[in-house]
Amino acid sequence: SGGAVTGWQPQQPDLSGRATIRVDGGSYAVSVARGVMTVRVTEHGVTGAPAAAAVLRSGAVWRQVTGTTGQPVLVGVAPRGAEQVVYRPVGGGEMAPHSVATAPAGDFTAYVIALARPPAGTAIARDVGWLTHDAGLPEWSIGEGGAAAAGFALDMAGEVPSLLPPHDVTVTGPPSTTAVRSPVLVGITVEASLGGTARLESQGGVATPVGPAGLELRLEGADPESAFCWARVPLSDGRTLVWGVLPEGASPPTLRVTGGARVGHPVAAGQSGLPYTPFAVLVEGRPEQVVGFDARLQGRAGGIGVLQ
């Protein structure tokens, strides 16, 4: 079931490490501390802005950054003992010609993957994995197939604590003690790996989606830290359900609305089983009145902002 995300909890926060990998006349400084990996790229003596990512449940993570040759590369960490680093190309198929440089990094193995000819588009990999000395098949940063699901029962005050009739119940907690009416019952399913499908399914209730638009989305992004999707779905009672998927540990989104639309209290699933945070928010207003959102990535700098 869903629930409010009360705070990001780092994975294996006691593990740490750092390494510098020199490739193509530049360097990639990789460090991990308190569950967050940080990458700094230096070229011609100039160090760019750091790129951070939360270490996933697998004990691994990567970021796609601009490399020392001006082309995108994959920089990340795998658990200590990783001997061969591989990736799943966007769109499937075999790995393109590439080079891999690795270095011990304390409790981790740091790596840089550089393709001889990066594909057109924004993303290189659906997932990055590694093999160890005694493993015949790779383990993957995000996961080996499968999907995760979260269920929400919500109204303007957030998650509904009881669905037993009548549906007029009282929610105690933020934003206030509020009478709840016309709950919306939905389930969100997310496939593993970038480019996977996220689906919204109505579970009944008083208000249901009108038509199929916005019920199936593709999780877009260059790496787990930047992947997200969202949609605005009209409901049968005239309200709008805003739903989507954010990176793991993201705060519930703050919606941007126009024309006097009223935003409900967002709910999010903090333990979906995959490195994503499904969320849902009710809006008293039309879909076009929701023009964007902002979400903070807890435990590290930065966030995700959308304005349409």
What pLDDT digit, counting tens, does each position of 73-125 carry?
999 999 999 989 999 998 788 898 999 999 999 999 999 999 988 877 779 99
Look at residues 131, 73, 61, 67 and name the one whose alpha carbon lies nearest to residue 98: 73
* Confidence band of 301 (pLDDT split at 50, 70, 90): low
pLDDT in tens, 238-262: 999 999 999 888 888 999 999 999 9
List the 125-131 sheet strands across, edge first.
Answer: 84-89, 125-131, 139-140
Tell me which amino acid residue 50 is. Answer: P
List the 216-218 sheet strands across, edge first.
Answer: 158-159, 147-155, 184-191, 197-205, 216-218
Give the strand pairing for 139-140 and 197-205.
Answer: unpaired
* Confidence band of 3 (pLDDT split at 50, 70, 90): very low
- Average pLDDT of the chain? 86
pTM of the model: 0.85
Tokens of 66: 């601009």
Q: Torsions phi, psi of 251, nearest 5?
A: -70, 155
- Residue 94 neighbours by CB under 8 Å, 6+ apart: none
Tell me which amino acid residue 219 is. Answer: L
Q: State how far the Cα of 224 lies from the Cα of 247, in Å rounded to an integer.
A: 6
Q: State how far the Cα of 104 lies from the Cα of 108, in Å rounded to an integer.
A: 6
Residue with tokens 């006691």: 14
Please give the C-alpha separations between residue 195 and each of 24, 90, 130, 136, 253, in angstroms, as whole numbers.
30, 8, 20, 26, 21
Look at residues 25, 33, 26, 126 and name the one whose alpha carbon lies nearest to residue 77: 33
